[in-house]
């Protein structure tokens, strides 16, 4: 089987995290993604921590299912090569700061003239306009602007905390991949490509709004603002560790009370509804906290399961690898990278009945596919050799 995006040709000009993850998703779905790299290689290629035989673990994950072409875009000859690549591509993706593509000579009007069917996806921090548009932007900056860092604030000290993963980069990647697929679908109806701008700030606000920003949906003073909820209550200390529970429906709360031997709370009006539990929150939380501490984690696993309460043991990062559900799903794939050796990565998350998503190819060596890609895009062997001699490609 071939992937759902089989036949889609993508020129990937992106670096670091947000762009490479987005284009790797397209590659996971079968698109032919050509990663354009400067002669020195992409910044993430050397890696900062986990490496083997010169292969960086993060780079290998974010650049699987791609081919690599080295191209010097600082030279006019390199720009002419890019123009020809764009002429035969379906999608081009970049995550430069606003204005860079225009200065390179590849603004949207020029791209339309080169290829009217081209989808041009531009991933950036905060969009091309506004007081922050020319700032350098990374994940922590967007966590700060979007309010995400304040979600994690410790209420006892009111100190904001960053989420300990590149949340904004990664959710922007998923948003970008989805937007690109929508633009490809629209092209099937119109016959024309279009420009798609995806900002990290837009993506993060959309992600936060349904729950974390619910107080700000209604404009005006007629709807009173409510106290912000805390997910800290989902983590409970047991006699010998921790467990996560998230009862939502009435039957799940009843199951929790039974599991914790708090059946007397079932008929207590102070705790009968979400509003009542909130109004009597301090007492309720103390009763619940004390009850959890009476049981070991293993005992609670049995009791919560028997009473159909949503729960899970809290895995360490190491324990994730051995989790029985992760293993049963086949969620982690082990394979042999030709340079990096034995590796483990998550499979593409979507499961398709008629088309395949997979790790079709490992992350490429720098310039590994330069000649093959140029040949496929119409360059003859003499042209390719001349470009190599000039240092335009490598």
**Which DSSP string corresponds to 290-324?**
HHHTTS-HHHHHHHHHHTT--EEE---HHHHHH-H
Q: Does residue 231 have an active-site annotation? A: yes
User: In degrees to the nearest 10, what's the CA dihedral of 166, 38, 4, 18?
Assistant: 10
Q: Are 176 and 198 in contact (CB under 8 A)?
A: yes
Number of other residues whose CB lies within 10 A of the CB of residue 359: 20
Q: What is the C-alpha to C-alpha distance for residues 312 and 385, in angstroms, rounded to an integer?
A: 59
Which CA distances in Å does 14 have to 88, 127, 173, 358?
19, 16, 11, 22
Helix (H, G, I), strand (E, B) or coil at 248: coil
Q: Record the tokens describing residue 33, joined without a space.
A: 């993604």
Q: Are 143 and 171 in contact (CB under 8 A)?
A: no
Based on the number of CB atoms within 10 Å of its own CB, is 306 exposed (0-12), middle (13-18) or buried (19 or more)?
exposed
- The single-letter DSSP state of residue 47 is -
Q: Give the CA radius of gyration of the chain.
A: 26
Q: What's the full length of the chain, in residues?
A: 394
Q: Are 72 and 47 in contact (CB under 8 A)?
A: no
Q: Are 111 and 92 in contact (CB under 8 A)?
A: yes
Q: Of residues 29, 231, 337, 369, which has the active-site annotation?
A: 231
Q: Are 9 and 90 in contact (CB under 8 A)?
A: yes
Which H/E stretch holds residue 242?
strand 242-245
Which H/E stretch holds residue 335?
strand 332-337
Q: What is the C-alpha to C-alpha distance for residues 215 and 150, in angstroms, rounded to an integer?
A: 15
Catalytic residues: 231
């Amino acid at each position: 089987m071939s992937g759902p995006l089989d036949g889609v040709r993508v020129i990937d000009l992106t670096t670091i995290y947000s762009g490479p993850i987005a284009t790797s998703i397209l590659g996971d779905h079968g698109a032919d993604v050509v990663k354009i790299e400067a002669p020195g290689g992409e910044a993430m290629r050397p890696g900062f921590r986990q490496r083997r035989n010169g292969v960086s673990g993060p780079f290998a994950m974010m650049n699987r299912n791609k081919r690599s072409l080295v191209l010097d875009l600082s030279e006019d000859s390199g720009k002419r090569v890019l123009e020809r690549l764009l002429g035969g591509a379906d999608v081009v993706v970049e995550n430069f700061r606003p204005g860079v593509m225009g200065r390179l000579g590849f603004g949207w009007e020029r791209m339309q003239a080169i290829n009217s069917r081209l989808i041009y996806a531009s991933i950036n921090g905060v969009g091309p306009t506004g007081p922050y548009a020319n700032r350098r932007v990374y994940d922590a900056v967007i966590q700060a602007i979007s309010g995400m860092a304040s979600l994690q604030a410790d209420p006892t000290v009111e100190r904001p905390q960053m989420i300990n993963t590149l949340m904004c980069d990664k959710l922007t990647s998923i948003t970008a991949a989805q937007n690109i697929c929508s633009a490809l679908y629209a092209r099937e109806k119109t016959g024309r490509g279009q420009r798609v701008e995806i900002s990290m700030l837009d993506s993060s606000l959309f992600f936060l709004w349904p729950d974390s920003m619910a107080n700000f949906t209604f404009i005006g003073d007629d709807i009173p603002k409510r106290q912000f909820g805390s997910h800290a209550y989902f983590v409970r200390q047991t006699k010998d560790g921790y467990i996560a529970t998230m009862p939502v429906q009435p039957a799940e709360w009843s199951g929790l009370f039974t599991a914790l031997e708090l059946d007397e709370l079932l008929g207590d009006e102070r705790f009968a509804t979400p509003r009542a539990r909130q109004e009597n929150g301090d007492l309720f939380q103390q009763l619940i906290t004390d009850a959890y501490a009476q049981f070991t984690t293993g005992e609670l696993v049995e009791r919560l399961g028997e009473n159909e309460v949503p729960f899970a043991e809290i895995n360490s990062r190491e324990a994730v690898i051995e989790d029985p559900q992760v293993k049963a799903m086949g969620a982690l794939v082990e394979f042999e990278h030709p340079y990096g050796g034995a590796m483990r990565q998550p499979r593409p998350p979507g499961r398709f009945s008629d088309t395949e998503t997979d790790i079709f190819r490992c992350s490429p060596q720098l310039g590994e596919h330069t000649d093959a890609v140029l040949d496929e895009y119409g360059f003859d062997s003499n042209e390719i050799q001349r470009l190599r001699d000039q240092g335009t490609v490598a």
